[in-house]
Amino acid sequence: MLKITPDLIVLCGLVTGAVDVRSISPDQWVNLVQLARVHGLAPLLIRVLKQSGINLQDDPIWQSLVQYMYQNMARAAMLEKSFQDLIAILYKAQILSIWLKGAALATTVYGDWSLRPMSDLDVLVPYERRDEALRVVQQHSYDFNHSEQNLFGAQESLSAHNHHYQLIGGAGGNAYLELHYWLLGRDHSHLLPLDGLNWFLDQTETVDRYGYPLLILKPEAHFLYLCAHALLQHSEDDFYALRFLDLHELVKHYRLDWEIIVKKAVELKWTYAVKRALKITVQLYATQIPETVLKDLMSSENDESSTRYAMMLSGKGSRGERLWSDIQQIKWKNLPAFVYRVLFPSRIYMKHRYQIPSHNPVFPYYFYRWFDQARQVFWMVLERTRYSMRHSMRTKHPQSDWNSR
Amino acid sequence: MKFSQLQPKIPEHALFRELGGEAVLLNLKTEQYFGLDEVGTRMWVLLSQSPTVQVVFETLLEEYDVEAPQLTQDLEELLERLIKGGLLELQASS
Per-residue pLDDT tens over the stretch A150-201? 444 444 445 545 788 889 899 888 899 999 998 887 666 677 888 889 999 9
Q: Over the range A273-311, which residues count as b (16 or more CB within 10 Å of their CB) and which as e?
A: bbbbbbebbbebbebebeeebbebbeebbeebebbebbb
Q: Smallest CA–CA separation between B30 and chain A, in Å?
A: 7
DSSP letter string, chain B: -TTTTEEEE--TTEEEEEETTEEEEEETTTTEEEEE-HHHHHHHHHHHH-SSHHHHHHHHHHHS---HHHHHHHHHHHHHHHHHTTS-EEEE--
A78 closest CB neighbour out of B23, B28, B30? B28
Whether B19 and A114 lie within 8 Å, measured CB to CB:
yes
Mean pLDDT per 10-residue section of chain A, whose length is 405 residues = 85 96 92 93 94 86 88 93 96 96 96 94 94 94 68 47 84 90 75 88 92 94 95 83 97 96 92 93 96 88 64 54 65 77 75 69 88 81 70 43 34
What are the beta bridge partners of residue A208?
A213
In percent, the amount of chain A with pLDDT more than 90 equals 49
Q: Contact, A271 vs A301, CB < 8 A?
A: yes
Q: What is the pLDDT of residue A157?
A: 46
Residues of B with CB under 8 A from a CB of A: 13, 15-17, 19-24, 26, 28-31, 33, 35, 37
- The answer to ipTM > 0.90 is no
Q: What is the pLDDT of residue A287?
A: 96
* Nearest C-alpha neighbor of A260 from the set A276, A279, A274, A245: A274
Chain A, window 351-380: residues with a beta carbon less than 8 angstroms from a chain B beta carbon = 358
CA distance B93 to A58: 39
CA distance A136 to A169: 13
CA distance A290 to A237: 27
Whether A70 and B35 lie within 8 Å, measured CB to CB:
yes
Whether B35 and A46 lie within 8 Å, measured CB to CB:
no
**Please, what is the angle between helix A363-392 and helix A335-343, to 10°?**
110
Q: If phi over 0 gives left and psi between -120 and 50 gives alpha, with beta otherwise, what is residue A286?
A: left
Give the chain B residue nearest A46 (alpha carbons).
Answer: B20
Radius of gyration of chain A (CA): 22
Residues 6+ apart with CB under 8 A from A250: A105, A109, A219, A222, A223, A226, A256
Mutation pick from B18, B22, B29, B36 vs chain A, by most beta carbons of A within 10 Å, is B22
Q: Smallest CA–CA separation between B4 and chain A, in Å?
A: 29
Whether B31 and A76 lie within 8 Å, measured CB to CB:
no
Residues of chain B positioned with their CB less than 8 A from the CB of A50: 20-21
Q: What is the pLDDT of residue B1?
A: 73
Q: Smallest CA–CA separation between B85 and chain A, in Å?
A: 14
Q: What is the pLDDT of residue B73?
A: 94
- pLDDT tens track for A162-176: 788 889 899 888 899
CA distance A354 to A74: 19
CA distance B9 to B24: 17
Q: Contact, A222 vs A104, CB < 8 A?
A: yes
A54 secondary structure, DSSP code: -
CA distance A277 to A265: 12
Q: What is the pLDDT of residue A152?
A: 43
- pLDDT tens track for B4-60: 788 999 999 999 999 888 899 999 988 888 899 889 999 999 999 999 999 999 999
CA distance A376 to A152: 11
Q: If phi over 0 gives left and psi between -120 and 50 gives alpha, with beta otherwise, what is residue B15?
A: beta
* Nearest C-alpha neighbor of A329 from the set A149, A179, A155, A161: A161
Q: What is the pLDDT of residue A161?
A: 53
Which sign does the torsion angle of CA A72, A73, A78, A83 carry? positive
